[in-house]
Each structure stands twice: as C-alpha cells, then as structure tokens.
Amino acid sequence: MQIVKEFGSRCKLVPVIIFLLLNSVLSYSQVSRQVTARELKGHVRYLSSDALGGRLTGSSGDSLSAAFIAKELKRCGLFPLAGDGFERYQVTTKIVRGEKNYLLLNDRTFKSDADLAPLSFSGTGELKAEVAFAGYGFNIDTDSLKWNDYGNLDVKGKWVLVLRGDPDPEKSVSGFLPFSSDRDKTLTARDMGAAGVLLVSGPVFDKDDKFEALSAGDHPAGIPMLHISRELAGTILGDQASAIADLEMKMNTEKRPASFLTGTVVKAGSEITEQKSWTRNVVFVLPGEDPALKDEYVIIGAHFDHLGMGGPGSGSRAVDTIAVHHGADDNASGVAEMIELAEEFALTRGSHHRSMVFAAFSGEEEGLLGSKQLAENLPFDPGKVNIMINLDMVGRLTDSGSLQAGGVGTAEGLKKIVQSAVDTSRMKLTFSEEGYGPSDHSSFYGKNIPVLFFTTGAHLDYHTPADTWEKINYEGMKDISLIVFDLAEKFANSPERLKFREAGPKVEVNRTIRRRGATLGIMPDFAGNVKNGLRADFVTPGKPAALGGMKKGDIIISIEGKTVNDIQDYMFRMSQLKHGQAISVEVLRNGSKLVLLIQL
C-alpha cells in the first residue's frame, strides 16, 4: 500500500481512493520512515526463535523463515522479482547408508553397524579382490618429510587397508598432518591404482574404535570404501586380534612404513544415498522512480539460513552439543536490517531512481548456495547492477563502534564514498579491499559486480547455541542501517555508474576448506556448479594461474595429469605440490581442452 502509483493499476483503484491512500502514506512516512530498534528486535526474535529450529537449509524452519520474509517485503510494498518471489532450488540435506554396505570373507558376511560403515565420501560400488595393507596410506615427498607406504607395493585393482591418523599422534604440530585426513588417504590410494579402500583405527588413534556419523556436503571419492572395525581388520590379517594395534605401534615407534600383501581376498561394497530437499531464496524488487534508470539495479542481500540443531558436520563450534543454534547475529540481524531498509526505501520518495532488489538467501552456510543460485540466474543482465550490498552479522556493534566494510576495492572511488557516509566520531570503520570473502557478496563479485560487505565481526557465540536475540545491539543495528541507507541511496540515484575493479580474493575465503602448501591464486567454485571439473570463478592478477594463462571461467580437469572432479580433488592435488614447482594444468575453455604450464 505504500507505493500507490505501483499498486493503482494492479488494484484498479478509483482516483479518489488513490488520492486518500497517497495522503495517508505520505503522512505515515513523515513519522515512521526510519528503521527503529523495536522493529529490528521483532524480526530478530522471530527468526532466531526455538520455533524455527535454527533455520537449517531445507528444513521446515528454513521454509517458515522464507515465508515470513516474503510477507514482510510484500507488506513494505515490494513486488516479486520473478514469479511469486521465491527462487527454488534443491540441496543435499542428508546422506544415509544404502543397502550394499558389506564385506564377505571366507563365506562369512559382515554387515552390522559394529563391523563396518561407509564414510560421507564413500563411492558406490563393490569389488572382489586381494587386500593390501598400506600402512598409513602416505606418499609424501617434501623437503622435510619423506614417507611412501606404496614404495614396494602393487595395489592396482586391489582393496587397500589403511590405518587412520599418523605416526606422530603425540605431536600437535606434525609434518604428517597435511596428509593425514581420511579423504586424502583415499585419494592417494586411488591415484596408486587401488580399486577400493578399507580404513581402520588403531587403539592409539581411537581407543573406542568408533564410526563417524555421515554428514552432507562431501563429494564421493570415486571408489568404494568402508571404515571397518579393528576386529574385522584383524580377521582379514589372519585372525590376529592384536594385529592392528601391533602394526600401529611398530610404525609409530620405528617411524617407517610397514606395507605388505595380505593374501586375503574379500568381496565388499559401499553405498550411500543422498536425500535432497527444496529450499528457496526470497527476492523482491522496488521499481525505480526514474524511467531512465529503472532498468538498472542496486541489490541489498542477507542470508537467513543457519545450522539447525548443530551436531557433527554442521559447522557448529559447540561440537558435542545438539541444541537449537539460534543464529540471532548470524544472520537474523542482517535479514532484519534488510527488511527494514526495504520499508524505508519504499516510504521515501526520491530515494531510488534505480530499481532496488532485496534478496534473502538460503544455503549460505552450505557454501553460498543461495547467492550463487541468484547470481547465476538473474532475470536481467548482471552488467545492469550498480552494486550489491551484503549484510551478514551486523548485530554485535560494541562500545568501540567498530564496523567492518569489505569489498571497498571493487569499484573506483568506492572506499572514499563509504568513508564520507560515516561519522567517524561515532563509529570506526575497518576496511578490506577484496571482493571475495566468506559470505554471499562473493557470488556477485564473481559476476564483475561491485560489492560491499558490512559486518560487526565474529564473537565467542558465533556458530553456537548462545547466539541469541538478547545479546544483539539493536541501537547499533539502527545506526548501521542509517549508513547503509545513505550509501544505497547514493548508489541508487547517482547519474554515474560505479566502475568495477578487480580486487583479488582472500586466501581464507571459505570457512570449511583447509588451505596449505602451494596455491594457484584462483577463487574456486565452492558451490560445485560444474560437474567433472572445478571452475575458476576468479583468477588473481599476478599470481601463478594468471601468469600461466588461466582465465576466469576456465574449468580445471586435471593437475599434473591427475583428475580433478571437484573442490576436494583440487585441494588434495594442490596439497601435494611445492612452491616453485612447474606443473601442467589441463583446463576446458569454451569447450576446448588446453594445457597450461604454471610456475607455482
């Protein structure tokens, strides 16, 4: 009802009613146009309530959040950007054991939860072959460490039995650590020709011999694999109850491999099944007031998903706690501010010559899935977007008044524009130039769109159940909203467009990806939009990939002749390389294969 001229044709209101409504709106806007702490608190309290269960992507709480946000944006007088304002897409929310997880040995079948379990990255398949014991499963050759469990062991076409962990369990810092994850060992075995992998925990590594819960978000390693019990491993090694304990102790003490062919043939298989759920972004638009500029856009966005009930694999910092992760700051705060800014723009005549898009994203905690979905499927040319402003964790402004502004290097003069909008006697700004970071603005920066990212930063309650509405600084949120409104109004009204400028990605661009060793200097496609390869969403000027001829959009399909199917393969391949090494990288560019020589 606030934007009567937009509603008039739709509702076919008679002129007298339009006149009365317009007067009502103008009167209302004079007294309650600005964002208030009370309204912000109301939004945050609902979104972070127990009733929404932590807003896990694909959950009922996620759906209720989307419905709430859509209702509020409609109330503000906005229109769906497309369809009904919901952008729907599927996500993998759970993986479960299939029916074909078993091991057959000497006519005895092992299937129980006590004997074996698939891992989250187990490939689906089965195999009958001899078992080779490959120690810790390492093939390490660095300046400071050399250890090869495959040196004199032919594992082609075989099952490989590998110990979990490493031979330095007492050290918190060890050269083995970058190579000791279960997935890395599985990929090493696959590269050595193994057709399947059996992982087992020695008593030093895990005295309880427990199996880990399956968690969504991992990519299959491409071969069947099982985590088996020590008792089952001992049976494979000749009914030796203490075999695994003895081998673990031997390698930990002697600090050298102890690999051998067992002579035992097993038939085994693994299977995991993905369960998918629908989720949705909420995307509404406030049409521009200037006919000459209304086909250009300013986007203001925030993600509304969080971690649900937490637990293993959820990203919770309270690893052993199953409870509602309220996510009041992360990111009910950003959503609340986005809703109130939408209302303020709708009620402020002359505030938006360009059209304003207000977007609430799901799937951010799963890898920026929602913002990727929108950025890849904008119903208009991305070049029409003047800027995207992202609000993520804006609820903990402290007495120091420190507000972080990211992305200020992504357009010419952008940093000065931001500085001019802030009263530095009341609020301190810290800046980062980069367009990429661990939040949704990254997806739009990848489309050559200038971005700004506002946050009050992390705190001890981050990704724990303690991130609750009572701890939010609502007056601080109101102050931040004033800054964002003033900036967005400038970007919506300025006759001159911002000029995009590349500002290379941070190294720590994804919270869940461990980075180590040599780097190419690219921003990978973390959402996995490309199958059977890894797309470079950004190539940093002056870094090895750029100097070697790689371009934004290239799809990496192999490194040093070894397949790269996804982000996990890429990270593993890179972990095996050294600074200064010259490598070959095969890429797909516009459907054609190219081999690039890159000096790390």
The full 3-state SS of 24-62, as one line of letters, equals: HHHHHHHHHCCCCHHHHHHHHHHHCCHHHCCCECCCHHH
Pairing of strands 225-228, 116-117: antiparallel
Long-range contacts formed by 497-500: CB under 8 A, 24+ apart:
497/296, 497/386, 498/386, 498/387, 498/411, 498/412, 498/414, 498/450, 499/411, 499/412, 500/410, 500/411, 500/448, 500/449, 500/450
- For the chain, give the mean pLDDT: 88
For 90-113, what is the mean pLDDT? Answer: 90
CA angle 208, 212, 218 (to 5 degrees): 155
The pLDDT-based confidence of 236 (bands split at 50, 70, 90) is very high
pLDDT (tens digit per residue) in 137-147:
999 988 889 99
Question: Is the pLDDT assigned to residue 5 strictly greater than 50?
Answer: no
Output the CA–CA distances (angstroms, integers) from residue 389 to 190, 254, 338, 341, 537, in the order listed. Answer: 43, 57, 10, 12, 19
Question: Is the pLDDT assigned to residue 464 strictly greater than 70?
Answer: yes
For 428-441, what is the mean pLDDT? Answer: 87
pLDDT at residue 8 in the model: 36
CB 46, CB 354: distance < 8 Å: no
Output the CA–CA distances (angstroms, integers) from residue 470 to 42, 146, 305, 329, 473, in the order listed. Answer: 11, 53, 19, 10, 8
β-pair partners for 102: 269
pLDDT (tens digit per residue) in 11-49:
333 333 333 344 444 433 333 467 899 999 999 999 999
3-state secondary structure 514-580: CCCCCCCCEEECCCCCCCCCEEEEEECCCCHHHHCCCCCCCEEEEECCEECCCHHHHHHHHHCCCCC
Cα separation, 92 vs 215, whole angstroms: 10
pLDDT at residue 22 in the model: 40
Cα separation, 225 vs 195, whole angstroms: 9
CA angle 203, 103, 98 (to 5 degrees): 100
Comparing 423 with 534, the larger pLDDT belongs to: 534
Write down the residue that tokens 């890179």 correspond to.
574
% pLDDT > 70, the chain: 91
CB 105, CB 264: distance < 8 Å: yes
Cα separation, 341 vs 358, whole angstroms: 9
- Which tokens sit at 490? 């400038």
Question: Is the pLDDT assigned to residue 277 strictly greater than 60?
Answer: yes
291 burial via Cβ count (<10 Å: 0-12, 13-18, 19+): exposed
% pLDDT > 90, the chain: 65
Output the CA–CA distances (angstroms, integers) from residue 450 to 405, 440, 567, in the order listed. Answer: 13, 13, 26
Question: Is the pLDDT assigned to residue 386 strictly greater than 60?
Answer: yes
Question: Is the pLDDT assigned to residue 418 strictly greater than 90?
Answer: yes
Question: Is the pLDDT assigned to residue 169 strictly greater than 90?
Answer: no
Pairing of strands 355-361, 108-110: unpaired
CB 359, CB 372: distance < 8 Å: no
Q: Is 0.75 surpassed by the pTM of this model?
A: no
Q: Which helix (H) or strand (E) holds 176?
A: none
pLDDT (tens digit per residue) in 292-324:
999 999 999 999 999 999 987 788 888 789 999
Identity of the highest mean pLDDT range in 104-113, 526-535, 566-575? 104-113
Residue type, 15: P
For 206-227, what is the mean pLDDT? Answer: 86
Q: Would you call 6 helix, strand, or coil by DSSP?
A: helix
pLDDT at residue 578 in the model: 74
Question: Is the pLDDT assigned to residue 527 strictly greater than 80?
Answer: no
Q: Residue 148, Cβ neighbours under 10 Å: how many?
A: 16
Omega cis (within 30) before 590: no
φ, ψ for residue 518 (rounded to 5)? -70, 155
Question: b/e per residue, 32-45, with b = 16+ CB within 10 A?
Answer: ebbbebebbbbbbb
Cα separation, 264 vs 319, whole angstroms: 39
β-pair partners for 290: none
pLDDT at residue 508 in the model: 36
Question: Is the pLDDT assigned to residue 478 strictly greater than 50?
Answer: yes
Output the CA–CA distances (angstroms, integers) from residue 7 to 1, 12, 13, 287, 398, in the order listed. Answer: 7, 8, 8, 12, 41
For 525-554, what is the mean pLDDT? Answer: 83
CB 582, CB 598: distance < 8 Å: yes
Output the CA–CA distances (angstroms, integers) from residue 334 to 292, 437, 455, 484, 591, in the order listed. Answer: 31, 16, 9, 11, 40
- Which tokens sit at 247? 């081998």
410 burial via Cβ count (<10 Å: 0-12, 13-18, 19+): buried
Write down the residue that tokens 């629908």 correspond to.
278
